[in-house]
Amino acid sequence: MHQSFLGLSATRGHAGSSLRKSVEPGKPPCTRLARLGFALCLVLGFAGCLQAQQSAGKPSDQPPNEDFYLYKQVPDITVQDKAGSTIQLSQIWRDKPVLLTMVFTRCTGVCSPFLNSLKSATSAAGGLGTDYRVLVLSFDPKDSIADMNGMAEDLGLKSNAAWIFGIASPPEIRRLAEATGIWFRWDASVQQYDHPAVVVAIEQGRVVRMLAGATVPVTGLMEVIQELRGKFVASYALPGKVAFRCFEYDPRSGHYTLDWGLLLMVLPATFAILATVWIFFLLPARKRIADSFPVARTY
């Protein structure tokens, strides 16, 4: 599958040269027309193929819904890594859990800042290489191993064995993207792919968490890594600013800290004590039994 992907790139190069030849002077018109027609057919045909391979999933303004993809099986695709050797995705995840993300090297938008953010976050979170690895795949059929190596080099990650930069055949990339909630769509008007920035945590071939957003928060990544280590993380992230939380979860330590909301939990008992004190000690009482009938008691 991957060989056909490489073959496609080569053919496109050939088509380009055909077009250039079609405008050479001194050739018979019919020959020129025939060659021009042939070249146009090739261009249109390949363009059609490319269009089919350049999108996956359903575009959305919202980040992928993690709930929909949790514990879903990830397809075992063939990946060509930065050394040029092919490897099954299952071989990667069987060895260690994987953080998967998809980018394209021509990206003028989020890809590079996003990968830089992921790099910083993994450095801060720790455990890279020992507990998990990062797999960066391109969804752009134009990207070659050389392109991905160039991207790794730009990020200073080429020699980092914990970071795997690779490519795969377009159909397999599409399968993988659709199984993990990642979508991409070629936007001809800007000559760029439209796509979300997503990190998918995969353990033993199943999606266990997803992080979406142009930057990767260290605390969020730490939670994900804790889950990849097999630890149960019971955080309760809530959208927006939430007043009166009971607890805060610290993913660095894995511990909970008490938060201001707990004060509200103390209020009922506090009011009950105050009311009891008020009623029994401050309100005027009639002659109390305790005062008037002391009884000697044996136990």
Partner 1 sequence: MELTTDVTNLWSEGDLNKFRRMTLIWGATVLLLLPILASLGYFMRMFQSNFFPHMRPEWFYAVLTLHSLGMVGTWFVGGMAGVSYLLTQYTHPSLAISKLNYWGTLVGVLLLVACTLGGLFGTGWYFLFPLPLYSQGVWQPWATVTFFVALAVLGLCWTIWTLDLLRAIAQRYSLKAALGLNYLLGKPGPDVPPLVLISTVSLIVSFAGFVAAVIVIVLFGVDALGYAIDPLLMKNLTFFFGHILVNITMYLGVAMVYELLPSYAGRPWKTNRVVAIAWDAVLFLILFAFFHHLYMDFAQPRWVQTFGQICSYFLAVPAGVVSIFGCLALVYASKMKWTLASVLFFLGIMGWGVGGIAAVIDSTVEVNFHFHNTLWVPAHFHTYYLMGVVLIILGFIDHLGLEVSKLQESPPRTKAIITLLLLGGYGFLSMFYWAGAHSIPRRYAVYPNELAQGTLYARVAFGFITVLLCGILLYLWETGKRCIKAFSA
- Point out which residues bind partner 1 (CB under 8 A): 232, 234-236, 238-247, 249, 256, 261, 264-265, 267-269, 271-272, 275-276, 279-281, 283, 285-286, 288-291, 293-297, 299
Q: State the minimum distance, in angstroms, from the CB of residue 284 to partner 1.
A: 8
Q: State the minimum distance, in angstroms, from the CB of residue 229 to partner 1.
A: 17
Which lies closer to partner 1 via its Cβ, residue 124 or residue 258? 258
Task: Tell me how many degrees the CA angle 23-29-33 measures, rounded to the nearest 5.
Answer: 65
Q: State the minimum distance, in angstroms, from the CB of residue 260 to partner 1.
A: 10
How far is the C-alpha of 201 from the C-alpha of 188, rounded, in Å?
31
> Is residue 273 within a helix (H) or strand (E), and if so which, with residue range?
helix 261-277
DSSP 74: P
Q: State the minimum distance, in angstroms, from the CB of residue 198 to partner 1.
A: 24
Which lies closer to partner 1 via its Cβ, residue 41 or residue 258? 258
Which lies closer to partner 1 via its Cβ, residue 114 or residue 249? 249
Q: State the minimum distance, in angstroms, from the CB of residue 276 to partner 1.
A: 5
Q: State the minimum distance, in angstroms, from the CB of residue 62 to partner 1.
A: 19
How far is the C-alpha of 127 from the C-alpha of 133, rounded, in Å?
9
Which lies closer to partner 1 via its Cβ, residue 160 or residue 235? 235
Which lies closer to partner 1 via its Cβ, residue 217 or residue 261? 261
How far is the C-alpha of 42 from the C-alpha of 36, rounded, in Å?
10
Task: Tell me how many degrees the CA angle 1-202-133 measures, rounded to the nearest 5.
Answer: 85
Which lies closer to partner 1 via its Cβ, residue 23 or residue 234? 234
Q: Would you state the structure tokens that stand for residue 246, as one six-digit string?
A: 């009971």
How far is the C-alpha of 284 from the C-alpha of 269, rounded, in Å?
24
Q: Which residues are 87's β-sheet partners?
A: 79
- Give Dmax over CA atoms of the chain in angstroms: 131
Residues 6+ apart with CB under 8 A from 85: none
Q: State the minimum distance, in angstroms, from the CB of residue 204 to partner 1.
A: 21
Which lies closer to partner 1 via its Cβ, residue 20 or residue 241? 241
Q: Would you state the structure tokens that stand for residue 95, as one six-digit string?
A: 């060895």
66 closest CA partner among 171, 223, 240 = 223
Q: State the minimum distance, in angstroms, from the CB of residue 231 to partner 1.
A: 12
How far is the C-alpha of 168 from the C-alpha of 78, rounded, in Å?
6
Which lies closer to partner 1 via its Cβ, residue 68 or residue 256? 256
Q: Would you state the structure tokens that stand for residue 72, as one six-digit string?
A: 């879903």
> Is residue 21 within a helix (H) or strand (E), and if so which, with residue range?
helix 2-22
Q: Would you state the structure tokens that stand for residue 275, as one six-digit string?
A: 């009311």
